[in-house]
Structure 1
């Protein structure tokens, strides 16, 4: 995409994380002439829930056009809510949770069948094996340094999403993802979004392990839409 018609990419991180997750993707998008905002959700406050998280993202969208809302993992719960509150041009899920209207975060795991995968995250090593299987030791250490406590006091509340937003939507599936495995995500994306996901190399944190692949795909989506 040329700098004559750049996008405003609004990047939403996953659960227990921060805008740091996007620090390798953001400069690659800026090199292509786009504007990038990586949002820090207010996840550490028990008083906040999905609506407040979405409000924080909406605040970053004010005054901007050519909006591309990107939600990674837990951020997939927030991205469509944001798209229902702003005039977005494109919604992109990156290994994202795809919510149904009114479905709570707590319900998602059972209604999608993810609970049946029996993925265990009881130890630091299990977290590494599931979330960071394709990261260098240096990136693994940095990722833990940037992790944040995520308060889930309101996890049982229905999503503020009342209907799927009427916005062009894409889904990026990561072939090496052990948390949202491809064989789990492909039918879920088809059922909930009516889409065939686009697949790239990388694990659950592909924005860290394959930032160029993520940036290239996001830039291509905007080029195809704007062109």
Structure 2
């Protein structure tokens, strides 16, 4: 049995992971997926990490799985608790001391060829079943930008095995961009899932397969 702790992305909720959680629990694993205080102007990355650490509590050595902006919270969780494995999914991979607001300029994001999408569904949920996309939109929250310009307090990547999963048809973070950032920031080659930016809703079983395979690879399952 493994413990999986999930960190959602910007303006989202823990519900985002519910299909993956159900799949993993059916396989005998434990999961937690807290809501981060992302709409709170007083909360920044340390408070996001507090919410995850509180949800993990006394559960032993979790696999931490972070989506998109959640990748900025993940290293702080790894500094606070013993973590067995870190998995980043369609991530904004942070550099030590980087502010989330600086990620785009520091990674030369605007230089990547990408198609603009003004519609939220077309950008984030293009391959998600319509009922799930509608539910995600209803549950979504405003992401506070009040503290996104603050440098992250982590100063070195945590000494935790790390894997990266990117999405072949991601419209927010194009696959070539993700490959480049993963190589330059972590010296890793990412694995590739089908679909867009939100695979926990569009391809939950394939995502669960990757997570359980990683856990088995590192002797966690």
Question: How far does residue 119 in structure 1 lie from its aligned partner after superposition?
Answer: 6.0
Q: Does 1:51 align with 2:39?
A: no
Taking the aligned partners of 1:182 and 1:119, their CA distance within structure 2 comes to 13
Equivalent pairs, count: 219
Partner of 2:187: 194
Taking the aligned partners of 1:70 and 1:47, their CA distance within structure 2 comes to 25
Partner of 1:132: 125
SS of 1:22's equivalent in the other structure is: helix
Partner of 1:108: 103
Taking the aligned partners of 1:77 and 1:66, their CA distance within structure 2 comes to 19
Please tell me whether the aligned partners of residues 8 and 14 of structure 2 are also in contact (alpha carbons under 8 angstroms): yes
Partner of 1:23: 18
Question: How far does residue 35 in structure 1 lie from its aligned partner after superposition?
Answer: 0.2
Counterparts in 2 of 1:1-227, with a 5 A limit?
Answer: 6-117=1-112, 120=116, 123=118, 125=119, 127-226=120-219
Larger mean CA deviation between 143-152 and 210-219 belongs to: 143-152
Per the normalisation by structure 1, the TM-score is: 0.93
Question: How far does residue 115 in structure 1 lie from its aligned partner after superposition?
Answer: 3.1
SS of 2:6's equivalent in the other structure is: strand
Per the normalisation by structure 2, the TM-score is: 0.95
Superposed CA RMSD in Å reads: 1.3
- Cα deviation, 1:101-140, whole Å, max 9, x if unaligned, reads 110011001101123346646x4x2x22111111122122
SS of 1:23's equivalent in the other structure is: helix
SS of 1:25's equivalent in the other structure is: helix
SS of 1:173's equivalent in the other structure is: strand
Taking the aligned partners of 1:116 and 1:140, their CA distance within structure 2 comes to 29
Taking the aligned partners of 1:115 and 1:85, their CA distance within structure 2 comes to 34
SS of 1:226's equivalent in the other structure is: coil
Question: How far does residue 76 in structure 1 lie from its aligned partner after superposition?
Answer: 0.8
Taking the aligned partners of 1:146 and 1:71, their CA distance within structure 2 comes to 19
- Cα deviation, 1:25-77, whole Å, max 9, x if unaligned, reads 10101111110001110111100001111111111222111310110001111
